[in-house]
């Protein structure tokens, strides 16, 4: 039967394969065959502007997903090593396997990126050096990184490694892009909560590639700012061990709901806008997803990318391809879809508190369960080999299993025997997360069957790179000054630390009297036009002005006017809480006469090791604040190698566990949130974000002397997020306020940060 000219098979046939990729050659997209070159030369918007090709970047957490991504049209694939990546729970790959993947990808004309995007503890710095050496040897096309220590070591010892700034670096405005460009990054992966308007500002900001997430799971919190998983279990989302607390059911004022569980992002409708504005790469999330999911989603986006030149010249054909692409996405085993923040900064379709956002295709409910046999009522087909997830009614428990035997009993009733599970409650929800046979997607772009036979041989060859990496890292470590990798390479005069200074961080004028009672060396004030004049009039001692960690493009101009006013008045101390703010402040200070800036960094910068401290020092920070996620051993080791600058530490504060662009509660002052485990939270809205605060504060207040001995020179009592529902302590006697600050959680300090 002849193919209909509007079918996706017709579109896919136009897509050819490039020649083998040579080392150092940049490759974006693939050349079209037959009508492909003519289509690519067609302009968009009436032929006035040439269409830019966008790279299609696919995830691979397993070898099968890697093959599936390439077979279905990915231009590049990103993978993770078995350590130090933000998807630690995926299968991931050894260094030898990455070498094999690199060879196979380059044979197919596809680029391979490696995510080395975890925060790094002090004891892991030698491992970082070894991994960098190994990845340099394998010839991977880029590293996706988060920790500034990885950036510093890569730039210093492996300067020809191409670096991409991970979304966990929280770059969400144009100044973040400029800062990354100045640091030598070749690409920036933008935060997922940005609008098309904000993405355009980022594209125009600097001569650096912009990568945008268009499909897959979304975090409730702003990129790079989640502390929830770590705060209640030591499993840091910044280190790839998130236990997904946002997916749980919470009680809000006694009513249960899924208030933080986001639907999956689907940006297929905005591909034309992203292409027009010059986005270099569109990214699919899913290194924990099966190969069938990866293949289906990649093919759907490949189809539409190939058809983009038709949207003005042959709109009916384009709409047909768009329809077929969406059908493929709907068949994938993901969550329900949302359009995300692309169209608006206040979308209404991100979540539904009345529904769980579990991954997989919803099948139905459990009708009965007995002796490891489940009976499921479903309008869909359940087959032997399908992978199912059962979600219990109270959502406190889930289980997954593969169907080994299935019988159809009546209209839409499936009986699954040997489910290998105990009795399951009636009305439990059933989701299909993978299916027996991948949906027929048409002929593959590239037949990878021969690769599978060669896999073990390529891995064996790749072990040569592991040995070379170990030797290279050992050699470099010996060349470093001193005996510790984490010590700075330049000779610096050790800092003489005598005692410590106490500072208080606050925002609301109501906290000023409380701050006075503590008799601090100075105060750290959150930049806010409403209160700035008040603090200038009523506090005559030292002030360090703190810039909000999340500062979207529409709020930059107003803050810029406040900062310029302070600079002209002679203020030079500012706390930066995001990488973007370093370049921004340095730019604003250029035209203001006087002494140089005195930059501090806040804990939102996620500095977890001595090399990260050295990195911000290189960027111009004079006083760096260590991460609140740290455990005691890591802090002690890092500070023993950080005698080159003052280091501060928050010793008390209600820490924002979720910082979100979504504000789900209209009257947060009346909201009380409870987790399934009985943990209590408050909610607070700020001008650009909302945040979830724990009922109990973080406190190391009684460890001040121990912190001083370790080398902490500035200790900060953070009163910024003191819940409105909590009464301020009275300060008639000293014990009144010391008792208030003693009571709190240690976070990970007394345990081990995972």
Instruction: Dump pLDDT digits (tens) for 461-484.
Output: 999 988 888 888 888 877 765 545
pLDDT on residue 365: 85
Q: How far is CA 171 from the centre of its chain?
A: 10
Q: Domain tally for the chain?
A: 4
Is the same domain home to 554 and 418?
A: no
Whether residues 293 and 198 fall in one domain: yes
Instruction: Please give the residue range of the domain that contains residue 690.
Output: 656-696
My answer on whether 310 and 396 are in the same domain is no
Please indicate, yes or no, if residue 442 is contained in any of the structural domains. no
What band does 623 get if pLDDT is binned at 50, 70 and 90?
very high
Sign of the Cα pseudo-torsion (425, 290, 299, 83, in order): positive
**What's residue 595's pLDDT?**
66
Same domain, residue pair 612 and 691: no
Dist. CA 74–CA 112, nearest whole Å: 11
> Per the confidence metrics, is the pTM higher than 0.75?
yes
Residue 131 shares a structural domain with residue 173 = yes
pLDDT, residue 40, reads 40
Q: 322 in a domain, yes or no?
A: yes
The angle formed by the CA atoms of residues 291, 294 and 298, to the nearest 5 degrees, is 140
Whole-angstrom Cα distance, residue 680 to residue 685? 17
Residue 280 has pLDDT above 90, yes or no: yes
The predicted pLDDT at position 731 comes to 56
- Angle, helices 63-71 vs 449-479, to 10°: value is 120
The answer to whether residue 65 sits within a structural domain is yes
Higher pLDDT pick, 8 / 701: 701
Q: Are residues 635 and 531 in the same domain?
A: yes
pLDDT at 230 over 70: yes
Rounded Cα gap, residues 2 and 10, in angstroms: 10
Looking at the structure, tell me whether residues 537 and 458 fall in a common domain.
no
Tens of pLDDT, residue by residue over 59-117, are 999 999 999 999 999 999 999 999 998 888 778 999 999 999 999 999 999 999 999 99
Give me the CATH number covering residue 413.
2.40.30
What three-state secondary structure class fits 66? helix
Residues 526 and 455 in one domain: no
Torsion 153-159-161-162 (CA) sign? positive
Confidence of residue 8 (pLDDT cuts 50, 70, 90): very low
**432, 457, 487 - which closes a domain:** 432
Q: Give domain status of residue 282, yes or no.
A: yes
Domain-embedded: residue 250: no
CATH code at 168?
3.20.20.70
Q: What pLDDT score does 421 carry?
A: 66
pLDDT class of 639 with cuts at 50, 70, 90? very high
- Whether the predicted pLDDT of 737 surpasses 50: yes
Give me the mean pLDDT over the 423-450 stretch: 74
Residues 118 and 142 in one domain: yes
Tell whether 647 and 660 lie within a shared domain.
Answer: no
Of residues 631, 610, 615, the one with CA closest to residue 236: 631
Verify that 509 and 520 share a domain, yes or no.
yes
* Contact between 351 and 263 (Cβ < 8 Å): yes
Per-residue model confidence (pLDDT) at position 90: 78
- Both tokens of residue 34? 């037959």
Q: Would 487 be classed as within a structural domain?
A: no
Confidence of residue 736 (pLDDT cuts 50, 70, 90): low
3-state DSSP assignment of residue 434 = strand
- Of 673 and 49, which is predicted with more confidence? 673
Chain segment 122-160, per-residue pLDDT in tens: 999 999 999 999 999 999 999 999 999 999 999 999 999
19 pLDDT above the threshold of 70: no
Does residue 396 fall inside a structural domain?
A: yes
Nearest to 202, CA basis, from 168, 165, 166, 176: 176
CATH code (residue 616): 3.20.20.380
Q: Show which of 407, 432, 457 is a domain's final residue.
A: 432
Confidence of residue 31 (pLDDT cuts 50, 70, 90): very low
- How far is it, in rounded angstroms, from Cα 638 to Cα 623? 15
Same domain for 177 and 209? Answer: yes
Would residue 304 count as lying in a domain? yes
């Amino acid at each position: 039967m002849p193919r209909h000219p509007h079918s996706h098979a017709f579109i896919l046939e136009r897509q050819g394969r490039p020649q083998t990729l040579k080392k150092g050659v940049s490759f974006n997209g693939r050349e079209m065959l037959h009508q492909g070159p003519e289509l690519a030369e067609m302009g968009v918007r009436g032929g006035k502007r040439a269409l830019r090709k966008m790279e299609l970047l696919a995830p691979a957490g397993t070898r099968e997903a890697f093959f599936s991504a390439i077979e279905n049209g990915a231009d590049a694939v990103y993978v993770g090593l078995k350590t130090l990546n933000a998807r630690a729970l995926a299968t991931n790959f050894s260094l030898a396997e990455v070498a094999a993947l690199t060879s196979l990808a380059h044979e197919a004309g596809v680029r391979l990126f490696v995510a080395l995007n975890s925060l790094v503890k002090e004891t892991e710095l030698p491992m970082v050096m070894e991994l960098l050496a190994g990845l340099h040897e394998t010839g991977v096309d880029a590293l996706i990184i988060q920790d500034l220590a990885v950036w510093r070591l890569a730039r210093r010892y492996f300067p020809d490694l191409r670096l991409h700034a991970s979304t966990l670096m929280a770059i969400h405005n144009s100044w973040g892009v400029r800062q990354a460009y100045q640091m030598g990054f070749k690409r920036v992966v933008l935060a997922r909560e940005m609008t098309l308007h904000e993405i355009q500002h980022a594209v125009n900001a600097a001569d650096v590639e912009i990568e945008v997430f268009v499909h897959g799971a979304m975090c409730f919190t702003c990129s790079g700012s989640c502390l929830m998983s770590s705060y209640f279990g030591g499993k840091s989302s910044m280190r790839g061990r998130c236990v997904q607390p946002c997916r749980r059911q919470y009680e809000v004022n006694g009513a249960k709901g899924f208030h933080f569980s986001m639907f999956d992002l689907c940006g297929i409708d905005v591909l034309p806008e992203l292409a027009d504005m010059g986005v270099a790469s569109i990214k699919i999330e899913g290194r924990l997803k099966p190969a069938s999911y990866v293949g289906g989603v990649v093919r759907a986006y490949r189809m539409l990318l190939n058809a983009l030149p038709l949207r003005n010249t042959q709109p009916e054909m384009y709409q047909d391809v768009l329809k077929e692409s969406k059908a493929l996405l709907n068949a994938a085993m993901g969550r329900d879809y949302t359009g995300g923040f692309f169209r608006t900064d206040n979308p209404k379709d991100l979540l539904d508190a009345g529904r769980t956002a579990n991954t997989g295709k919803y099948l139905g409910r459990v009708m009965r369960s007995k002796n490891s046999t489940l009976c499921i009522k479903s309008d869909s087909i359940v087959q032997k080999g399908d992978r199912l997830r059962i979600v219990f009614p109270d959502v406190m428990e889930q289980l997954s299993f593969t169907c080994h035997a299935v019988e159809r009993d009546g209209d839409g009733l499936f009986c699954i025997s040997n489910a290998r599970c105990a009795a399951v409650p009636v009305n439990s929800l059933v989701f299909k997360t993978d299916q027996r046979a991948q949906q027929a997607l048409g002929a593959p772009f590239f037949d990878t069957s021969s690769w599978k036979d060669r896999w073990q041989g390529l891995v064996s060859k790749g072990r040569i790179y592991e040995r070379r990496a170990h030797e290279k890292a050992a050699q470099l470590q010996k060349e470093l000054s001193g005996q510790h990798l984490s010590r700075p390479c330049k000779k610096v005069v050790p800092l003489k630390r005598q005692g410590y200074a106490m500072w208080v961080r606050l925002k609301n004028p109501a906290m000023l009297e409380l701050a006075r009672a503590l008799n601090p060396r100075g105060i750290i004030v959150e930049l806010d036009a409403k209160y700035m004049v008040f603090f200038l009039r009523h506090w005559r001692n030292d002030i360090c002005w703190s810039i909000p960690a999340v500062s979207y493009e529409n709020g930059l101009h107003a803050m810029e006017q406040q900062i310029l006013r302070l600079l002209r008045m002679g203020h030079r101390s500012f706390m930066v809480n995001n990488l973007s703010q370093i370049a921004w402040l340095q730019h604003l200070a250029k035209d203001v006469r006087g002494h140089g800036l005195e930059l501090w960094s806040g804990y939102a910068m996620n500095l977890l090791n001595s090399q990260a401290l050295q990195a911000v020092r290189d960027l111009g920070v004079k006083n760096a604040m260590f991460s609140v996620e740290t455990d005691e051993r890591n802090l002690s080791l890092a500070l023993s190698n950080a005698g080159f600058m003052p280091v501060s530490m928050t010793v008390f504060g209600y820490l924002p566990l979720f910082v979100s662009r979504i504000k789900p509660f209209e009257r947060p002052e009346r909201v009380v949130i409870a987790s399934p485990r009985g943990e209590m939270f408050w909610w607070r809205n700020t001008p650009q974000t909302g945040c979830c605060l724990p009922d109990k504060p973080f406190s190391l207040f009684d460890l001040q002397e121990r912190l001083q001995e370790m080398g902490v020179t500035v200790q900060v009592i953070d009163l910024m997020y003191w819940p409105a529902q909590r009464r301020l302590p009275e300060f008639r006697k000293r014990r009144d306020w010391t008792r208030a600050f003693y009571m709190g959680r240690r976070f990970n300090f007394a345990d081990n940060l995972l």
